[in-house]
């Protein structure tokens, strides 16, 4: 199924078996970036990684069998899926001992991983949801207003309303009226209609609580409509569309997604600039892998900011889970540290575990000059 809302994740996270562990599996299947061959190879590696992890686990034979069946089923399903489907990512949750199986198609590529745990590992799903904005797109002219909801790259119709605003003066059609009165008559109709549309938008907002409002209408309607919007909506009105009520949803979706992308880019630029200015003035911020990881270990991080594709090997203390760039022994408990394939990935997980916000920045950005990673801090020790 497609990942569309938080309820799906909540429901999934409630699954738990008394006797068996659950396998959670994430695969980057973004064919626009890598070839099918590369994806097939990372699928194979991931399954093998799971199998060798499984061998070392001290759990009951039945539990092991269930996990091993999970891996087999996931392997077959994923390779079939690669030829038929084309989502950017795949998330699979399986517990064969309980006959539990759930597949999600993701709009963005996740980091590859396989995890055995008591519960489904849903954090990457929440992160994927958190990266998208809930958008309401409204198109209107004097005859019709149409509302759409756009989320995770999907569009659905919310509501529509018919207008009865008279058009321009027809010759001989307005006998007995002078042109001033006619103009006023039209303006009143238009005002009433747009007022109704503004009210309806607010009702939809209360019901669906969208983050952004996009508006497709002519300038002459906009100048009347915008002041009629509730203050909550004025702050959410983030952009104008060229789309009109008669346009097919596909077209409205396409234009809205382009606008979403532009706005997100602006948001990212803003956050990187804010980080840099905090860094320059020696405020509550840090940057670079070593410093950021140290702040994470100490629980100082409030928001972690990282370039999307950035990854580096590192080390982790198996006892206290502290992360290190290159320490052979844990600085806190002296235990020998273990090698990590990707410390950035672990840092993101650690941040989410500690309820920090994580912001992914799509490169290229000035964050590169600061080591591709940084953080806003709660405090500085």
Contact residues for Zn ion, defined by CB under 5 A:
317, 319-320, 330, 332-333, 335
Least separation in angstroms between CB 131 and Zn ion: 32
Q: Within a 10 A sphere around the Cβ of 207, how many other Cβ atoms? A: 10
Among 94, 80, 100, which residue's Cα sits nearest to residue 29?
80
Q: What is the CA radius of gyration of the chain?
A: 26
Cβ(54)–Cβ(68) below 8 Å = yes
DSSP state, 229?
S
Least separation in angstroms between CB 123 and Zn ion: 23
Nearest CB to Zn ion, comparing residues 41 and 333: 333
CA 54/CA 56 separation, integer angstroms: 5
Nearest CB to Zn ion, comparing residues 236 and 315: 315
Least separation in angstroms between CB 199 and Zn ion: 59
Nearest CB to Zn ion, comparing residues 1 and 339: 339
Nearest CB to Zn ion, comparing residues 246 and 318: 318
Least separation in angstroms between CB 334 and Zn ion: 7
Nearest CB to Zn ion, comparing residues 234 and 336: 336
Annotate 67-78 with DSSP letters as a single string: HHHHHHHHHHHH
Nearest CB to Zn ion, comparing residues 237 and 343: 343
Least separation in angstroms between CB 336 and Zn ion: 9
Least separation in angstroms between CB 319 and Zn ion: 4
Nearest CB to Zn ion, comparing residues 106 and 317: 317
Per the DSSP assignment, residues forming a β-bridge with 237 are 213
Tokens of 159: 């509501």
Our separate counts of H helices and E strands in the chain read 10, 16
Least separation in angstroms between CB 328 and Zn ion: 12
Nearest CB to Zn ion, comparing residues 253 and 330: 330
Least separation in angstroms between CB 115 and Zn ion: 22
Cis peptide, bond prior to residue 364, ω within 30 of zero: yes
Dihedral sign for Cα 272, 275, 281, 282, please.
negative
Would residue 32 be called left, alpha or beta, if left means φ above 0 and alpha means ψ between -120 and 50 degrees? Answer: alpha
Helix or strand (DSSP H, E) at 92: strand 89-95
Nearest CB to Zn ion, comparing residues 96 and 297: 297
DSSP state, 364?
S
Cβ(190)–Cβ(143) below 8 Å = no
Cβ(316)–Cβ(371) below 8 Å = no
Cβ(301)–Cβ(378) below 8 Å = yes
Say whether 271 sits in a helix, a strand or coil: helix
Per the DSSP assignment, residues forming a β-bridge with 150 are 135, 155
Residue sitting closest to Zn ion (CB): 330
Least separation in angstroms between CB 317 and Zn ion: 3
């Amino acid at each position: 199924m497609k990942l569309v809302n938080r309820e799906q994740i909540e429901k999934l996270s409630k699954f738990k078996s008394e006797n068996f562990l659950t396998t959670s599996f994430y695969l980057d299947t973004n064919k626009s970036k890598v070839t099918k061959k590369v994806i097939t190879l990372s699928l194979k590696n991931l399954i093998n990684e799971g199998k060798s992890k499984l061998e070392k686990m001290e759990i009951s034979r039945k539990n092991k069998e269930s996990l091993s069946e999970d891996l087999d089923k996931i392997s077959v399903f994923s390779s079939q899926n690669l030829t038929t489907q084309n989502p950017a990512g795949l998330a699979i949750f399986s517990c064969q001992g309980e006959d539990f199986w759930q597949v999600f198609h993701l709009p963005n590529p996740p980091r590859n991983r396989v995890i055995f745990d008591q519960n489904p590992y849903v954090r990457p799903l929440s992160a994927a949801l958190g990266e998208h904005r809930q958008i309401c797109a409204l198109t209107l002219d004097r005859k019709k207003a149409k509302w759409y909801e756009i989320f995770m790259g999907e569009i659905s119709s919310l509501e529509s309303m018919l207008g009865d605003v008279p058009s321009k003066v027809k010759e001989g059609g307005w006998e007995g009226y002078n042109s001033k009165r006619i103009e006023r008559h039209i303006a009143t109709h238009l005002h009433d209609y747009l007022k109704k549309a503004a009210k309806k938008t607010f009702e939809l907002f209360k019901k669906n609580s969208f983050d952004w409002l996009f508006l497709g209408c002519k300038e002459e309607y906009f100048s009347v409509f915008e002041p009629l919007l509730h203050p909550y909506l004025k702050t959410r009105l983030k952009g104008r569309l060229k789309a009109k009520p008669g346009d097919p949803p596909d077209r409205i979706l396409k234009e809205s997604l382009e606008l979403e992308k532009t706005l997100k880019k602006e948001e990212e630029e803003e956050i990187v600039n804010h980080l840099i200015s905090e860094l320059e003035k020696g405020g509550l911020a840090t940057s670079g892998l070593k410093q950021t990881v140290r702040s994470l270990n100490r629980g100082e991080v409030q928001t972690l900011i990282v370039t999307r594709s950035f990854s580096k090997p590192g080390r982790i203390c198996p006892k206290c889970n502290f992360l290190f760039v290159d320490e052979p022994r844990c600085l806190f408990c002296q235990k020998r540290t273990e090698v990590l394939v990707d410390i950035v990935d672990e840092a993101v997980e650690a941040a989410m575990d500690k309820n920090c916000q994580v912001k992914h920045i799509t490169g290229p950005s000035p964050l590169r000059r600061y080591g591709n990673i940084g953080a806003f801090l709660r405090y500085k020790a």
